[in-house]
Chains A and B, each alone.
Chain A
Amino acid sequence: MIRLRNIRKAYKTGYNQLEVLKGIDLDIEAGAFASIMGSSGSGKSTLLNIIGILDEYDNGDYQLDGKMIKGLSQTDAALYRNRFIGFVFQSFNLLPFKTAQENVALPLYYQKMDRKKRQDLAMEYLDMVGLADWAEHLPNQLSGGQQQRVAIARALITQPKVILADEPTGALDSKTSSEVMELFKKVNREGMTVIIVTHENDIAAMTRRIIRLRDGVIENDGTTVSSSS
């Protein structure tokens, strides 16, 4: 599903170049449930941006579901993000003036699907995350866990190739964290590729594969013991 070859990325800081990714080779197969770990400055955010087609890389190759992701125009990048990637963010990032249902339907708006159809579909996905009764609520009327479930429904609604979750439990208490993780597991069991970026060991431990980054290279890549759950 994801194939990275010798990915390099550097940022210019004044006269210096700060190399953030120093040659990343990584394969993530379809249906995987993986976590990317690393301390701040390890390059994990940059890697996530590149996988999520939010940022460009300087060198190497990135193939997503067999398609080369390189040198895309902004419009094409937006199209690929819309079709292939479902994002889940630490701070949920729901639009505050839209109801739960409208938030879930938003990615379909950019596919120019008609309003009735996307609202119906959004309702289905809200039902799947157990929030059908909250469809008309605004984000600030929902708890953190509920907001994150809405965000997951939003990520799933386009049936993307990959779910990219950036510290999805970072703003949640441990009980809701595990609820959210259960939801990810369920989604993964149904065949979705899920990649979670986290710095929490117990969250990473719930995935089947942990990729550890350090100073811009992969330090460790292995399957976890508790993969069976």
Chain B
Amino acid sequence: MLDQDTWQEILGTIKKHKLRTGLTALGVFWGIFMLIFVLGMGKGLENGVFRDFGDRAKNIMYVWPERTSQPFQGFQPGRRPQLRLEDITAIRQNIPDVQYIAPRLSLGSVPVYYEDIGDSYEIRGELQDMIRIEALQLHQGRYINDLDIRDSRKVAVLGKRTAEVLFGEKDCIGEYIRIKGVEFRVVGIFGPMQIKPWTESDLEAIVIPLTAMYRTFGTGERVDYFVCSAAPNVLVSSIEPQVRDLLKKRHHVAPDDPQGIGGFNLEAEYQSIVNLFGGIRAFLWFVGIGTLLAGIVGVSNIMLITVKERTKEIGIRKAMGAPPRSIINMILAESIAITSLSGYLGLIAGTFVIGGINYLMMANNLEPDNFYNPQVNLTVGMGAILLLILAGAAAGFIPALQAARVNPVIALKDE
């Protein structure tokens, strides 16, 4: 279908009507450009929001004790149950859909010294899994591990800012700090994945094994709250009631008491944001396709005019023995050529602009809220190319049929 003669003819007609073809092509160019641009920006918005959300947050839940509101088994309302380390073992044994459980017991404003530099910090007693659940990352060394916990080792993982304050430029791994006068060996530095107002505390905290905390500071086997993550392919909303019911039973809280054991997960919020972006994306496609459609109608229009202008030529070709199919192919090829070429340029321009915005943001360290890494993914690109070819064919369809209907007797008529 696209042999040398076809190309020659397409080029011939395009050359004859440079301005007209150019303006028509502009319509398609703009259509694809807008489609790519709005989808890319939409993706940037989406990436920004989901980044703020944290990629793990969607399947974790928090559990904490709070004052009961109902009397139960002889207990008066208004009592605050105390979560304990055994609760964690009980959950591990009874609820297999829970993947990680990370408890936390915090002591606020504890004096901490390295040599003669010191300040007060929050000390957190934890098991090994908190860094796997919350949006935390390790900068250096290691986090606390199960051996630390088993042996109640006096080791500490410092928040990034704490490490900077206590050690400055110095390497702190292996050094000893004094917490309430007790020496702990520093094994690592951690920090939040993103610095946000609500993650500031992670920068300054000091994490030690929960067991070491119990033993060293005499807190008893208490837990302030804990974070659970659901096993893969399990909805966190399905395990939250199980965990809370189990804890209510263990702590003598009435099963229908809305208080006593508090819990929270972000799944519903996450889902509603996912849905929101689904809606936004559909809307952007709608707008983009609409713009593209206007361009395609333009091409179709111009092709109709072209066919009208070339009626005589088509008649001559038919008299020379051109079958209807070859005439249809000729018009379709021209339509597809104009559409795909201009659309392809639009695709490149759109990708270039989106890539440029991303590059400039990275280069200038711009990190506005809710916008991050705008991108055009491969599927959208491929989809757009396919769309273009279909669009070209659609635009040429009616004009091509019109051309095929030209009566060859025309060739004999003299204008």
- Which residues of A pack against B, CB within 8 Å? 45, 48-49, 52, 54-55, 74-75, 78-79, 81-83, 87, 89-91, 93, 95, 97-98, 106-107, 109-111, 115, 154, 158, 166, 170
Contact = CB atoms under 8 A, between A and B. Distances in A.
A179 B318 CA distance: 28
Interface string B34-51: 000000000000000000
A170 B414 CA distance: 11
Given A55-B409, A89-B411, A106 B320 contact: yes
B412 A166 contact: yes
Main secondary structure of the interface of B (DSSP, over half): helix
Interface string B1-41: 00111000100110010000000000000000000000000
A98 B5 CA distance: 10
Interface string B389-415: 000000000000000100111011011
B326 A52 contact: no
Given A54-B412, A97-B16, 4 more contacts: A78-B318, A79-B321, A82-B320, A115-B4
Interface of B: 3-5, 9, 12-13, 16, 312-313, 316-326, 404, 407-409, 411-412, 414-415
A91 B12 CA distance: 22
Contact of A110 (B312, B326, B407, B408): B326
A52 B316 contact: no
A3 B88 CA distance: 104
A106 B414 contact: no
A75 B325 contact: yes
A154 B319 CA distance: 12
29 contacts: A45-B412, A49-B412, A54-B407, A54-B409, A54-B411, A54-B412, A55-B409, A74-B323, A74-B324, A75-B324, A78-B323, A79-B323, A81-B320, A81-B321, A82-B321, A90-B414, A91-B415, A93-B316, A95-B317, A97-B9, A97-B16, A98-B12, A106-B317, A109-B5, A110-B321, A115-B5, A154-B320, A166-B412, A170-B414
Contacts of A52: 319, 412
Nearest to A115: B4
Contacts of B414: 90-91, 170
Contacts of B13: 97
Nearest to A78: B323
Contacts of A75: 323-325
B325 A87 contact: no
Contacts of B9: 97
B409 A95 contact: no
Given A95-B313, A95-B316, A78 B321 contact: yes
Contacts of A49: 409, 412
A97 B12 CA distance: 7
Given A93-B316, A115-B4, A115-B5, A78 B322 contact: yes
Contacts of A110: 317, 320-323, 326
Give 9 nearest A-B pairs by CB, closest first.
Answer: A82-B321, A97-B12, A78-B323, A75-B323, A110-B321, A93-B316, A81-B321, A107-B320, A54-B408
A99 B215 CA distance: 99
Nearest to A197: B412
A74 B411 CA distance: 16
B300 to A, nearest CB: 23
Contact of A83 (B5, B16, B321, B415): B321
Nearest to B325: A75
A106 to B, nearest CB: 6
Nearest to A111: B321
Contacts of B325: 75
A107 B320 CA distance: 5
